[in-house]
Amino acid sequence: MTTICLVGCGAWGQFILRDLVTLGVRVYVIARGERSRAVALAGGAVGAFADRSSVPEQIDGFIVATPTSTHASVMETLLESNRPIFVEKPMTNDVEAARRLVKAAASRIFVMDKWRYHPGIEALRDCARSGALGRIEAIRTYRLGWGHPHLDVDAIWILMPHDLSIAYEILGYLPEVKAALSVAPGQGHWDMTAILGGEDGAPQVVAEVSTLHPARLRAATVIGSEGGAALDDSSSDHILVTQGRAGNAPSKPSKIPTSTELPLFRELKAFLEHLRGGLPPRSSAAEGLVCVERIAAIRQIAGLQP
């Protein structure tokens, strides 16, 4: 049986624990709070401890689900174990720390970019790469909602990694940042539109995130020279595909069905398969570093503190 040490069992860590238990994994939890440890035991952990000293040595891998600002320091303490590490996105909110981690353990650190495992995003990727849409001209994503529950970092560090990972999955790379601005003046920490790429005919990526939007929206669109494809909601069981150019007689969108398996469950399965000798998960440490660098560039262009 595969044994995982889950570091952090807060609001999101509980879901990770749930899925690991469902997948038949033996899970030990490290959590600072007594309440979090109680929740972990109630959720099926075989042990819950305040620090790593009480965790058995026979661990196959670690999953880090602590607050973003602690990701780097937690991973640095785990490196000596020489075990694979799956860390929640973003890898860290510190560019220099991300570079240190890549230099120290690039082959053992992977980032939990769950949107790269979303069946709808995979369908957009396959549609784009098949040539069905012609030359890919743009990707546009929306991640809008109200409020921000994280206390250690602002919404840009929490929301933007999702959209950058979507672009990465579809294009196979992440373009350079060209522009960044907030449509709500003075609210850049909570509302941001970033533009990447677009030079010399290369695809342009426009990612809009906001915690100032009363209606929730999670959507992604791929625009090609011969058509377009879209995932119109995170819970959709299909993507929409339209053929033709804008301005021509519109064609009725066709629906391409997709799986409804949850992305978190799918990425955890991928990590477990890697621990058992399979391929590494998507979002390597090097790709995680690129994401951190792009967000740092977005913040600099928008005049935000790192």
Q: Is there a contact between 33 and 57 (Cβ–Cβ < 8 Å)?
A: no
Reading the block at residue 36, the tokens are 């979090």
178-195 pLDDT, tens per residue?
999 998 888 999 999 999
- Domains parsed from the chain with CATH numbers: 3-114+265-284 (3.40.50.720), 115-261+294-302 (3.30.360.10)
Q: How confident is the model at residue 248 (pLDDT cuts 50, 70, 90)?
A: low
256 CA to centre of own chain: 24
184-223 pLDDT, tens per residue?
888 999 999 999 999 998 999 999 999 999 999 999 999 9
Distance, CA of 299 to CA of 291 (rounded, Å): 12
Distance, CA of 228 to CA of 242 (rounded, Å): 5
247 pLDDT above the threshold of 70: no
Q: How confident is the model at residue 57 (pLDDT cuts 50, 70, 90)?
A: confident
Quote the pLDDT of residue 249: 60
Bridge partner list, 144: 210, 217
Q: Is there a contact between 124 and 144 (Cβ–Cβ < 8 Å)?
A: no
Q: How confident is the model at residue 244 (pLDDT cuts 50, 70, 90)?
A: confident
Reading the block at residue 226, the tokens are 């011969």
Query: Considering the entire predicted model, what is its pTM?
Result: 0.96
267-291 pLDDT, tens per residue?
999 999 999 999 999 999 999 999 9
Determine the average pLDDT of the residues in 216-233: 96
Percent of the residues in the chain that have a pLDDT greater than 90, as a whole number:
92
Distance, CA of 304 to CA of 138 (rounded, Å): 26
Which residue in the block uniquely carries the two structure tokens 């529950």? 149
34-52 pLDDT, tens per residue?
999 999 999 999 999 999 9
Report residue 207: phi and psi, to 5°: -120, 125
Question: Cα–Cα distances in Å, from 281 out to 34, 107, 166, 267?
Answer: 32, 11, 15, 7
Q: 289: helix, coil or strand?
A: helix
150 pLDDT above the threshold of 70: yes
The sheet with strand 254-257 has its strands ordered as 177-181, 191-197, 204-210, 136-146, 212-224, 227-231, 238-243, 254-257
158-184 pLDDT, tens per residue?
999 999 999 999 999 999 999 999 988
Type of residue numbered 115: W
Q: 7: helix, coil or strand?
A: strand
